Structures are given as C-alpha cells and as structure tokens.
Amino acid sequence: MHAFNYHRPSNVNDAAALAAKSADSKLLAGGQSLVQAMKLRLAAPTDIVDLGMVKDLAGIKSDGKTVTIGAMTRHAEVTGSAEVKKAIPALAVLAGMIGDRQVRNMGTLGGSLANSDPAADYPAAVLGLGATITTTKGTHAADKFFKGLYETALRPGEIITSVSFPIPKRAGYMKFKNQASRFAIVGVFVADMGNGVRVAVTGAGPCVLRLAEMEKALGAKFAPESVAGLKVKSDGLNSDLHASAEYRAHLITVMAKRAVEAAMK
Amino acid sequence: MGAPLIGARIPRKEDYRFLTGAGQYTDDVTLPRQTYAAFVRSPHAHAKIKSVNTAKAKGAPGVLGVYTGEEIAAAKLGGLPCGWLITDVNGQPMKEPPYPVIAQGKVRHVGERVAVVVAETQEQARDAAELVQVDYEVLQAVADGRLARAKGAPQLHDIAPDNTCYVWALGDKAAVDAAFAKAAHVTKLDFVNNRLIPNAIEPRAANGSYSRADDSYTLYVSSQNPHVERLLMTAFVMGLPEHKVRVVAPDVGGGFGSKIYLYGEDVVVTWASKQLGRPVKWTADRSESYVSDAHGRDHHTIAELAMDKDGKFLAMRVKTTANVGAYLSTFASCIPTILYATLLAGQYTTPVIHAEVTAVFTNTAPVDAYRGAGRPEATYVVERLVETAAREMKMDPAEIRRKNFIRSFPYQTPVALLYDTGNYDATMDAAQKLADVAGYAARKKASEAKGKLRGLGYAAYIEACGIAPSAVAGSLGARAGLYEAGEVRVHPTGTVTVFTGSHSHGQGHETTFAQVVADRLGLPVENVDIVHGDTSKILFGMGTYGSRSIAVGGTAIVKALDKIIAKGKKIAAHLLEASESDIEYANGEFKVAGTDKKKMFGEVAFAAYVPHNYPHDKLEPGLNENAFYDPSNFTFPAGTYVCEVEVDPETGVVKIERWSAVDDFGKIINPMIVEGQVHGGLAQGIGQAMTEGAKYDSHGQLVTGSFMDYCIPRADDLPSFQVDTRETPCTHNPLGVKGCGEAGAIGAPAALINAITDALGVKDIPMPATPQTVWRALQQKKAA
Ligand SMILES: Cc1cc2nc3c(=O)[nH]c(=O)nc-3n(C[C@H](O)[C@H](O)[C@H](O)COP(=O)(O)OP(=O)(O)OC[C@H]3O[C@@H](n4cnc5c(N)ncnc54)[C@H](O)[C@@H]3O)c2cc1C
C-alpha cells in the first residue's frame, strides 16, 4: 500500500469539502473493495476521507411505503434488521448473501453502489425495486444510476447519503455464486410491485440490467412457469473462466424461476 | 500408569499456542536492525531482459541495496540444484538447465525473480521495487505441457531441445503389448491431472542474518526441512561451510510440499544480509505465492487397462506428459517418475505394467511435490480406469476390484515396489458398510423424484510412504539419503526433551511423538516435549514430506529410546545390586524380575546425572541418546473411499451427500490427529476434483492468481466425513506405523470423479468438475 493522508470528518459537508480538496482523494466506507485495491497497489489515493464517523449516514427507516437505508449501513445491519425483514424480506436475504461475516460487518450499501462491481448483489435489489439514490447533490433513479463496468451516474465528489426502496407486494432474490469469490455469477432479483413486475440481473453484464421480456411474462402471470421457458440471449453477456456467456444466459432463466418461487413462498 | 498412550485421543499440545496467537512464525521474527526485501518479478512468461535500471530505486527513501542478476552472477552464487537425477530411456541423464536465484538475461515464467530491493521498511522496499525499470523483449511462450514438444514451440533452455527434460520408462513394454494383444476388453482414458497451487495459510518467508563476530549466518525460513535447506544452500549454491550456517524453521503454517524446496528468495536474503551487514526479511504476499511457490500435479495421461472376459486385469499401459514448469525445482524430477509410475499397480494383481513419462519445460511456475506427490496422479489413473472398466464390462465396481485384489504378501509388483502387507478386502468391506451401499438404490430413486441425478464412486488407493530406504532411493537417482535422526535427552529429574529431524507444520508431531515417547517410557505425556526445526539443536534431519514422519522420524526416536532404556537398566542393576539381565522396564519402573525391588525412571535419571553411587568403571554418566534410522522398505497405507453425490442438472452444481473413508494406516498413535489429517487430505483432494485448477492462458499469464479465481474449498463445500480405520501393522518398523498425511488427497479425486461421472452417465469429465463443466457435460450428452 502506498502512503496517504487520512481524514476523519464527522459530517457530510466536511467530508465533501475534504474530498474536493485533492484530485486523488477517495471516500472510505467499509473498505472492503477500496482497501483491497490499495493493498494490491492498484489504487493509490493521496487522501482518504473516512466516512465512518459521519453518524447520520447510517440507519434504517421504514414508513410503510418505502424503506430508507443510510449509505453507511453495513450489510450485516440490513440482513439482521427486523424492519427490512418485515417490509422487504428479499432485501434482507440478499444482504445476507454478500461475502462472509467479516465482509458483511464492514461493507456498506453506499460503498457497494458507488463501486458498482458487475458481480455485486445490491445493484440487483436497487434496480429490481426501482429504488432512489439520494446523494449530496440530489437524487438518482435506479434506472439511470448504473452506467457500465464500475461506472455510475455519480459525479466527482458526490457522496451517496441514502437509498429509498419502495416496498413491493412480493419479491425474491436468487444468486448463483462464483465458487471462488462467492460474488454473483448471476443474481436475479424479481419484484412484484403491485403495478408491474421488475426483473434485474447482476453478474451477467457489465453492470446490473433489466429483462423486459421476463417482466412482461411475469406481469401477465406471476409464476415460475412464466419464465421457465424463456431463453435469454447470450450476446453481450460476460464470459470468463467460471462461466461462459452461454452458461450465464442459461443460469439467468433458472435463477429467475427460482427467484419467483422464493417470492411466492 | 493409566491407559496406554498409543491409540489415545490426546488433545494437541501445540494448539494452545496456535489458537491463542502465541505461535512464532518466520514473519514474527524481527531481529535488531531488521531490514526488508521486496522482489521485482517478471510480468512476462518468456522474455529477454535487455536491461535493468536500478538508479531510481536506489535513490528512493529508505533503500539500502538493489541487486539484480548481474550482482548475483558477480558474487558467483550457484543455481538452485535438483535433488534427484533421472536417467532417461537412452541411459542419458535428464537435462538440468541452470536455475538462477535471480534471472540471468532471460525470464521463463511470470513471477520469476528479476531484482531485489532491500530497505528500512517493507513498504519502502515495495515502493522502490516499483521504480526498478526492466526493459524486456517479450518472446512467445508455451504454458500447456501438451504443446511443449510441438513443432515450432518456443524453446526455453538451450540445453533442453524440444523443451524435454527426459523421457523415462518403467516396466516390461513387450510383455504389456503382448498382453494387450490378447485382451478381451481394453478400457482407455485420456485426461489431464490438473495443476494445483498449494496455498499454505502462512506464505513463504525468510529472514537471513549474518554475524561478523564469527562469520556465521542464521536463516529463519518457513520450511519443512531445515537441514536439507541448509545442505543445499551451503554446499551447492553459496559455497559456505555448513557449520557456519544455522537454519531455523520455527512454527510453520502449512507446507503441503511447497516448503520442501530451496527457493531463490531464501538464498538472496541470506546473501544480502552479509552485503548489508544487517538482517534481511522477506515475506511473500498471497499474490506472490500464487506465481512463485512450486505448483503441483499437471499431467496429461493416456492410460489403458487390458482385461480378460471376466474382468481380470491383464496389463496396464500408461503414457504421461508431466509439465515441470520453467525450471527443475528441488524434487521435481522424481515426482512424476519414482513416486508415480511405481504406484500404478494399485491394490491389484495386474501382472505387467508399462509407463512412459515425458517431462517437459514450459513457461509456468516450477512444479514439484504437492500433498501426495505422484501418488494422487497414479491413483487417479488406476482408479478411474478400474471404475470405467467396471462400467464398460457391466460389472459392479466393488466386485471388479475384489476380483483383482492382491491377497498374498509380501507382494512384488511389476513396477518395482514390494508391498510388505495389506488387507484390501477389510477396508473395502468396511467402507461399503459405512457408506450404506446397500441403501444406495433407494437414495438414487429419491433423488430422481426431486429431479436430481445421483452417483456413487469408489477409489481404492495405495500409497508408498515412509520415504525411503536410502540405498533404494540412491539407486533410483536420489542425491540425498532419506533416513531420519532423533535424540532423547532425559533431564536429571526424569523429564524428557526429544529432538527430531522431522518437522511439524500442522501434523501435530509435538503431541503424537510425545505420546510415543511417554508410552514407551511409561511417563505422563506432559513430561515429554518435542523440539524440531533448528539445525543448531537437532543433530540432523531430512524433514517432513511423503507421510514419512512417524514411520521414519518416529522410529529413529524409538531406537534412541531403546538405548535409553538399555542404559537405564544398567544403572538400575547397579543401584538395585542385581544382574542387568534380571532388570525389566515397564510403566516407568526398573524392576528386578519376580521381586518388588524397583527404581523409578526419575531415580535412575537422577543417578545418571548425580553419579555418586554409579558404575563409573563401566558406564558414562548422563542419560542422552541419539539414533539414525534408515528404513528397509517403504510403508504402504491403503484404503477405500466411497463418495456419493447429487447433481442439480439445471445448474450443474454437485453436492457431496456422503463421504465414507476407511484407511489402513497400520498402528494409530492418536486417532483424533489421524482423523484431522484425513479430513484435511480429503478437503484438498475434493478441491482438486471439484474446485481447484491453476490456469495459464496461451501467453503464460496465470489467470487464477488469487482466491477470487482459484477456489480452495470452504467448509460448506464439504460433507460431514465418515471416517474409520483398519489396522494392518507395517511389518518392518517397530511401531507398525505407515503414515497418514496424504491419503485423503490421494484417494479423493478419483472417488469424486467416479461418482460424478456415474451420476451424469458420462465416461469422463475434466477436473475440476465445476458447475459449468458439469453443466456442459450434460449439454453435450443431450446433444449427442
Ligand atoms: C471477501 C469479499 C467478498 C465479497 N463478496 C461480495 C459479494 O458476494 N457480493 C457483493 O455484492 N459484494 C461483495 N464484496 C464487496 C463488499 O460488498 C464491499 O463492501 C462493497 O463492494 C464496497 O463497500 P464498502 O463499504 O466496503 O466500500 P469501500 O471499499 O470503502 O469503497 C468502495 C468505493 O466506493 C466509494 N464510496 C464508498 N462510500 C461511498 C459513498 N457513500 N458515496 C460515494 N462513494 C462512496 C469509495 O470511494 C470507493 O471508491 C466482497 C468483498 C470482499 C472483501
């Protein structure tokens, strides 16, 4: 790891100001992606602005229509939250599938979204539920947030403060794990919002994406058999040592079917 | 005394220190005026080094020295030696290209050492290492062993045309060909035994220091055999007198073979410590370990089994290409030959066997012994062939094995080994019971009802352990003896310290060996401590690998104990005013036979060290004995594993539903430790078959260079193992022990692949059988 200056502000404004001071600064949330990159010498920020002491960035609130989760809320808090389990059980399940216990105790929702790893889990829920991302500079609709490989709509210096998830009628998440990393080879989030169905897939493309055909089929009838026969095209899907595009395309169908089954339980 | 200690489940003495963070590993050793090394490594698989510019690095903060291949050559440091000479089919010695400790003019694999930076801190060394500028002329690379001898393949070493290290053979080819000509059925398989990356929890580390006071060196190093490390480093590489070098392998966090070898880093830090007059420490990070530790396996094999119409084995023919990587690591040459082809008889009476092995150089990390070392590869050949043969002959896989089991011992195999003893029916019968093979059909039905596929597979393995009779090893090309040394030091008050040349890096020797000693002497196990891993304390040692510690190291200790007891009897006879021949020793007491006259062990020890009343005319004072033991034969652990899997055909995910293992390790000292060794070995074998596989791309880049892509199995990938043992004591060592450290890794892959292919109804599937691989096999089957 290269040497860097360390800052620990106690509010979001100071954090934004500190981050803006240096062109090569980085916000630090749970450090589960950033610190690894630094240890591997792939990232070498001059300044680290630690969000750990910014108290109002963490916490979970529910008003019956939406669940709002602070950016610094750890995965473990989300998976263990009685409110989340009650309002959006699939979201609690998803958070519990991220990494291992140590990762879940450190990693945060905001960090995961800002990082936008193509195989990360949270983006599937954010897009699958049509959540709204609130930042220091405004709000982003989920449909416009994920731009590409490790690329989001966030501008330099913009800090995610919270994410609001609409509460669905029912929802399910199924993840097919990479054996080694345990990130998603394919993760499918299916949500019946009452006024329509959303299906979001992570792991398969450069970033999380929606599947219109499946949404339509499930909108007509929310049942596993509605998607079981739908073949997904492999064009443009990720292909690597662990899974070819063709295998991923196949897994999307299988995971979608199982996510619907989970949602109906 | 209480219950016998041999066979007791005594908790491991070493665990308190390991579990509470009191272990002392090489990286924990920080010496006064410590400095730190970072290696610059090649990013290319094959390239000429046009120039190395170290000016910037030398000027970086904290930097004390930067050394390249040039300085190493100028210092006349030799290359790393290979410890085993293989003679090829034409009677020529294998090709041994120079293996410099820092690259000289050319790099031949990603991760090869190109320069080293030494600085005040580790981070300064790493920062400065990034400033070393190397100008490479990139060359074409070859990583796949199957392509190494192809026309036009890039050539690695001038002295090894066609990248060939040797072509070696064992067995009677004419007899094998004749038997095949008469066979009623031939089963043939063509497969790869996948390359593995050892990944000990503790990465390699070395801390060298030089003392100007007496012109001596001390090297702390994460090693499995400190004396061998010292011998190779002093005599062959650095030209130092052995008595001026101390090598300490303190607590070592796993080795699996990868820490047997002398590595360039160990030499460089030792050498640099004299250049700088300060100790130099290097600890690998995980990424470095992936590219620079010796890897394991990597065979391509075509194997055939000839049978008569009843499934009786007539002959076996095996042709293997072994990828040894870019250079010959310390024991690389003997693994795919001496430790592989000699095991091809397995548990069977196959009368004739011929094996031909071609070892090739490629632009990959060197390949050497890895848990099992040659024997997993052999077992995979034999047990995949046998199971496939049973399917093709429509015979029960257990029956075809029983039909061919060796039942009369000693048994001379057609591939050089002489099995002293064994009882393969016993382990097969027990494994079938443990696995409830009788209930399998019902379980298969239940799986099918859920839309799942179920399969069952066996592996009946044998291994040669207790390496080795030195004379035999020597006649086969070993450049070292393979005995072991032990010393028993009885202290004046009767407690005991034992010094062993074996090395424990996870095996639990501090407990097992103490049990042996305490049992023989009739003392509480707390009164015995085991010391290992320091050339300044231990008289000599060949170290730990090949499941040899208890069979060879343990026997050396027993021999020393016999001397202690013999001397103790003499002392006791004097003290008890009896004839020496009337003294019996049992339960910690020297007794005059048939009387109640006795002396406790502690009293005799005390008399030896406070010799007021002592037979000075006949006996020296003191009670300290040592012994060397050179075994007369290998030991032959064997067993049967039965694996049952359930496959999800939709995703290709394989779940191991049951795993039953019955091993015959001869006499068992501590069943709990043995079970732990079996569990660990099984986990590694399952890893090879299902999750692990080192992949280089066609440019020689390691694609699986971290835990993100190289999958070591986790606890939840594994079933709850059912393990049991049968005891057929080894006939030629006093403890009757055979060794247990590698069995799991040897037997597991074949059992698992046999189960998976059974479930899928396919002839073969490549390892690792990942979900994608399984899914593809099912797609292909559907398409066919
Ligand atoms: C072993 C391991 C396994 C893992 N497995 C999974 C898995 O299965 N699924 C999965 O989804 N993830 C997995 N992860 C990643 C994990 O979820 C990370 O926590 C997450 O990707 C990043 O969150 P973080 O809080 O650690 O962010 P950090 O690492 O601290 O930061 C990541 C990036 O986000 C930026 N950032 C952080 N917070 C904000 C903010 N509020 N506003 C703007 N930018 C911000 C940082 O500057 C940085 O660029 C794994 C990680 C590890 C180490």
pLDDT at B2: 58
Cβ within 8 Å, pair B775-A241: no
**Measured from the CB, is residue A177 less than 6 Å from ligand 1?**
no
Residues A169 and A255 in one domain: yes
DSSP string, B440-466: HHHHHHHHHHTT-EEEEEEEEEE--BS
In eight-state DSSP terms, residue B100 is -
CATH classification of the domain holding A21: 3.30.43.10
Fold match flag (B299-468+633-783 vs B483-629): yes
Residue B121, chain A, CB below 8 Å: the answer is no
Residues A37 and A76 in one domain: no
Specify the pTM: 0.97
Does A55 reside within a domain? no
Residue B36, chain A, CB below 8 Å: the answer is no
Number of independent structural domains in chain A:
2
Long-range contacts of B445-450 (CB under 8 A, 24+ apart): B447/B646
Residues A26 and A98 in one domain: no
Residues A121 and A227 in one domain: yes
Distance from CA of A99 to the nearest CA of B (A): 11
Check: complex ipTM more than 0.90: yes
Strand partners, A164: A68, A132
CB-nearest to A254 from B651, B708, B709 is B651
Residues A115 and A170 in one domain: yes
Residues A234 and A111 in one domain: yes
Residues A241 and A115 in one domain: yes
Sign of the CA dihedral with B342 first, then B344, B350, and B351 last: negative
Q: Could you tell me the CA-to-CA distances from B179 to A64, A124, B314, B393, B517 in Å, in that order?
A: 80, 62, 6, 18, 51
Does A146 reside within a domain? yes
Fold held by B299-468+633-783: Aldehyde Oxidoreductase; domain 4 (3.30.365)
DSSP string, B339-370: TTGGGTTTTB---EEEEEEEEEE-SS--B---
The whole domain housing A92 covers 60-264
Query: Rounded to an integer, what is the distance from CA B68 to the centroid of its chain?
Result: 32
Task: Please name the amino acid found at residue B737.
Answer: V
Residue B215, chain A, CB below 8 Å: the answer is no
Fold held by B483-629: Aldehyde Oxidoreductase; domain 4 (3.30.365)
Rounded distance, CA B552 to CA B464, Å?
Answer: 13
Cβ within 8 Å, pair B130-A41: yes
pLDDT at B318: 98
Is the CB of residue B215 less than 8 Å from the CB of residue B238?
Answer: no
β-bridge pairing A5-7 and A47-50: parallel
Instruction: Identify the burial level of B539 via C-beta atoms within 10 angstroms of its C-beta, where 0-12 means exposed, 13-18 middle and 19 or more buried.
Output: middle
Residues in chain B, pLDDT under 50: 1
Number of other residues whose CB lies within 10 A of the CB of residue B193: 24
Does A137 reside within a domain? yes
Nearest residue to B198 via CA among B282, B108, B289: B289
Is the CB of residue B536 less than 8 Å from the CB of residue B569?
Answer: no
Q: Does residue B211 sit in helix, strand or coil?
A: strand
Residues in chain A, pLDDT under 50: none
**Measured from the CB, is residue A33 less than 6 Å from ligand 1?**
yes
Residues A103 and A157 in one domain: yes
Residues A208 and A105 in one domain: yes
Residue B611, chain A, CB below 8 Å: the answer is no
Q: Which residues of A touch B711 (CB under 8 A)?
A: 179-180
Angle CA B66–B70–B75, to nearest 5: 90
pLDDT at B739: 96
Q: Which ligand 1 atom is the nearest neighbour of the CA of A122?
A: 11
Cβ neighbours for B617, distance < 8 A, ≥ 6 positions apart: none
- Identify the residue among A40, A179, A240, A241 best suited for mutation to test binding to B, counting B beta carbons within 10 A and taking the highest: A179
Q: Does residue A234 sit in helix, strand or coil?
A: coil
Distance from CA of A137 to the nearest CA of B (A): 35
DSSP string, B288-334: HHHHHS-BB--EEEEEEEEE-TTS-EEEEEEEEEEEEESS--TTTTT
Does A190 reside within a domain? yes
Q: Does residue A152 sit in helix, strand or coil?
A: strand
What are the residue boundaries of the structural domains of chain B, listed by start? 18-139+202-253+259-292, 299-468+633-783, 483-629
Residue B711, chain A, CB below 8 Å: the answer is yes
CATH classification of the domain holding A137: 3.30.465.10
Residue linked to tokens 């360039």: B264
Structure tokens at B617: 């005319």
Cβ within 8 Å, pair B650-A41: no
Sign of the CA dihedral with B115 first, then B116, B119, and B124 last: positive
Distance from CA of B686 to the nearest CA of A (A): 13
pLDDT at B1: 46
Rounded distance, CA B602 to CA B331, Å?
Answer: 45
B712 backbone φψ class: left, alpha, beta (φ>0; ψ -120 to 50)? beta
Is the CB of residue B140 less than 8 Å from the CB of residue B155?
Answer: no
Residue linked to tokens 């002295």: B159
Cβ within 8 Å, pair A180-B707: yes
Residue of B nearest to A180 (CA): B711
Residues A236 and A140 in one domain: yes
Residues A140 and A174 in one domain: yes
pLDDT at B725: 98
Fold held by B18-139+202-253+259-292: Aldehyde Oxidoreductase; domain 3 (3.90.1170)
Is the CB of residue A53 less than 8 Å from the CB of residue A8?
Answer: yes
CB pairs under 8 A between A and B: 39
Residues A187 and A245 in one domain: yes
Element containing residue A115 per DSSP (H, E) = helix A109-115
